[in-house]
Structure 1
């Protein structure tokens, strides 16, 4: 294909043709400049249009029209990329890899540069992938890492075992050891809360014997409860939470929150648990030797509902380790955002009770475990 004549050359030829002497034909001028007479006629006609002598589309209008057409075509391509990407990513069982989508769009006429710009992808890695596509094993590994990352983003306090459970729910089964290796390589770590050291005060004498002896097991609901108090800093000061946990299913059956760590905090938590569980006579409720648990109000509530008190030893955190582990997990959740109301405790019902699977429960949630293990008569009640 021959190159177009320069603009200056066309203007010179048209100027000579317009100012030609009488008797000089356009064919002669065209022959002198080495162009075809029809081409020269087109140049003169376009020059008349540009000068406003004749009606028609000027060169500037044509350039603007071509630019507008290019912008329209580019917008259509961008819309097609967004439409195809939305449809591609909405498929639940399809691995979320965008490079195959870029390749499909390129085959349909959408430039790679446009697709990568809309999807915020770098073109160089795409071309490397195109030259050396990933193997099925590498693709499966990336899909598993994506599933683990997604589960970690939803619940940062989940460990690798629970993340593996969530990935299985997403359709990417893997062994716990594989999940640990992938999480380690990808830098996916559970939120870790450093425990604060105690104040060093000496607790008073126990008012109950230790009926648990670190055996945190129960063969039925409402046989063994654990309770303790934790604190959390907020913008308005400290808030205190007292929770009651049923060892049978690890379910939090009652809790209370207050800005003061008084015996009323424990009383409200026990009353909440009794109201939810009903007849709890004979149930052992185990705690540490905090003054709140040794108060007269708490002893009165225990006696009123037929609960059996139990207390661990001084300075032995393992005597109530099952409850301490729950509070450690809860603090990891609370530290992710400000906590000033009861709204944050919705995590207990929404995630801990209904989504967090536990190894001690056979990888079931507390609600699932109680539903399966409770006798029909208890469920009917």
Structure 2
């Protein structure tokens, strides 16, 4: 004997909603849900309510039917609100009850949602939330609010480029006693993140017949004093007027950019100017190890003659191996990620001014370097005097 299929009130409500709100035909909904057309038709009629009295139905029955329709619609509205709140607060469901209370206060309470519905959606008790509202913030919560102000200031002081370690180091320099993990947690809650690095692209043209020097550095990026090992390289900057080429000289020991030059042409005069500026700034003694790639600008006879006149040892990377000059490549990555990729330059003059300010003011004198114990390169060099 075939048994009658029973359906829950929620199922009937959803079936009716598909017909009345989504505009689907009863036949389509019946086929999609696998229910008899007659049953679905009856559910729809009950949901709409009787349009006019008909014989055989008592007044009390009509009132009960209307009350049932109202109840179902109310349940449907509550379910929709719970689903909407749950979607907004999906993240805080994994962060503990206090985080849910805070989300409820900031994003839900007073926004048109019934408090009971919102509490059920976030899986917290209504009485517990109301008690939490009356409770005074703990000392740790007040300390967190104070730290958020300092973290925001450190984030801006680092030009939005500092990660957790540098922000933590800067706060410690300012006299704030705070743990690294706490800084990381507060940064995540505040939605702060540093600018992400992009992939490396090689720009060196070593297809020439000029003589090259052996790799004396051999990826040993260590020195026992300033002006013992210099790294050099060239990069390019896009402007609306065309390319601007930048040559730099970096001291391995202090991590400082001791010399740089910019030009619209990538020639050995560009690299020679950067070298001369570095020599005038630090006045190194003979014997300094000068390392570069195999680009024609560094293999040019005039450049090599200048190195010989200064008594510098010449070292060059292996062909196509960016790791042989990794610290210099890292500097280019920081420059591009923290400045060049964030702006568009209409002229070469604009790019020159921005790069000069970034190197002279921010990188050399303000930016904390992890290899220097979170000091700036200039502060580190001055501390040696």
Q: Distance between the aligned counterparts of 1:337 and 1:131, measured in 2?
A: 47
**How many aligned residue pairs are there?**
248
> Which of 186, 191, 197 in structure 2 is aligned with 1:187?
191
Residue aligning to 2:167: 163
Residues 338 and 173 of structure 1: is their aligned pair in 2 closer, same or farther, counting only changes over 3 Å?
A: farther
> Which of 370, 377, 380 in structure 2 is aligned with 1:359?
370
Does 2:229 correspond to 1:224? Answer: yes
Q: Distance between the aligned counterparts of 1:196 and 1:215, measured in 2?
A: 21
Is 2:206–2:296's contact at 8 Å kept on the other side of the alignment? Answer: no
Matches within 5 A, 1:14-53: none
Does 2:140 correspond to 1:137? Answer: yes
Is 1:263–1:293's contact at 8 Å kept on the other side of the alignment? Answer: yes
Is 1:143–1:172's contact at 8 Å kept on the other side of the alignment? Answer: no
Is 2:246–2:263's contact at 8 Å kept on the other side of the alignment? Answer: yes
TM-score (norm 1): 0.60
Residue aligning to 1:88: none
Give the match's secondary structure for 1:286: strand
Moved more, 330-339 or 208-217: 330-339
What is the CA distance between 1:223 and its match in structure 2? 0.7
Q: Distance between the aligned counterparts of 1:293 and 1:177, measured in 2?
A: 45
Residue aligning to 1:327: 332
Give the match's secondary structure for 1:161: helix
Q: Distance between the aligned counterparts of 1:248 and 1:310, measured in 2?
A: 17
What is the CA distance between 1:264 and its match in structure 2? 1.1
Q: In the TM superposition, what whole-angstrom CA distance separates every residue of 1:37-90 from its partner, at most 9, and x where no partner exists?
A: xxxxxxxxxxxxxxxxxxxxxxxxxxxxxxxxxxxxxxxxxxxxxxxxxxxxxx
Residue aligning to 2:150: 147
Q: Distance between the aligned counterparts of 2:324 and 2:251, measured in 1?
A: 16
Does 2:220 correspond to 1:215? Answer: yes
What is the CA distance between 1:298 and its match in structure 2? 1.3
Residues 303 and 128 of structure 1: is their aligned pair in 2 closer, same or farther, counting only changes over 3 Å?
A: farther
Residues 360 and 204 of structure 1: is their aligned pair in 2 closer, same or farther, counting only changes over 3 Å?
A: same
Q: Distance between the aligned counterparts of 2:204 and 2:371, measured in 1?
A: 33
Q: Distance between the aligned counterparts of 2:139 and 2:364, measured in 1?
A: 37
Residues 364 and 200 of structure 1: is their aligned pair in 2 closer, same or farther, counting only changes over 3 Å?
A: closer
Is 1:288–1:312's contact at 8 Å kept on the other side of the alignment? Answer: yes
Residue aligning to 1:12: none
Is 1:204–1:289's contact at 8 Å kept on the other side of the alignment? Answer: no
Q: Distance between the aligned counterparts of 2:259 and 2:299, measured in 1?
A: 19
Residue aligning to 1:252: 257
What is the CA distance between 1:245 and its match in structure 2? 0.6
Q: Distance between the aligned counterparts of 2:174 and 2:240, measured in 1?
A: 38
TM-score (norm 2): 0.59
Is 1:203–1:314's contact at 8 Å kept on the other side of the alignment? Answer: no
> Which of 318, 323, 328 in structure 2 is aligned with 1:318?
323
Is 1:240–1:258's contact at 8 Å kept on the other side of the alignment? Answer: yes
Does 2:182 correspond to 1:178? Answer: yes
Moved more, 339-348 or 263-272: 339-348
Q: Distance between the aligned counterparts of 2:236 and 2:203, measured in 1?
A: 13
Matches within 5 A, 1:2-81: none
What is the CA distance between 1:131 and its match in structure 2? 2.9
Is 1:312–1:320's contact at 8 Å kept on the other side of the alignment? Answer: yes
What is the CA distance between 1:203 and its match in structure 2? 4.0
CA RMSD of aligned residues (A): 2.4
Q: Distance between the aligned counterparts of 1:267 and 1:129, measured in 2?
A: 68
- Name stretches of at least 5 consecutive residues in structure 1 with no aligned partner: 1-126, 375-381
Q: In the TM superposition, what whole-angstrom CA distance separates every residue of 1:293-325 from its partner, at most 9, and x where no partner exists?
A: 111221122112112111111222211111111
Is 2:205–2:296's contact at 8 Å kept on the other side of the alignment? Answer: no
- Name stretches of at least 5 consecutive residues in structure 2 with no aligned partner: 1-129
Residue aligning to 1:368: 379
Residues 220 and 201 of structure 1: is their aligned pair in 2 closer, same or farther, counting only changes over 3 Å?
A: closer
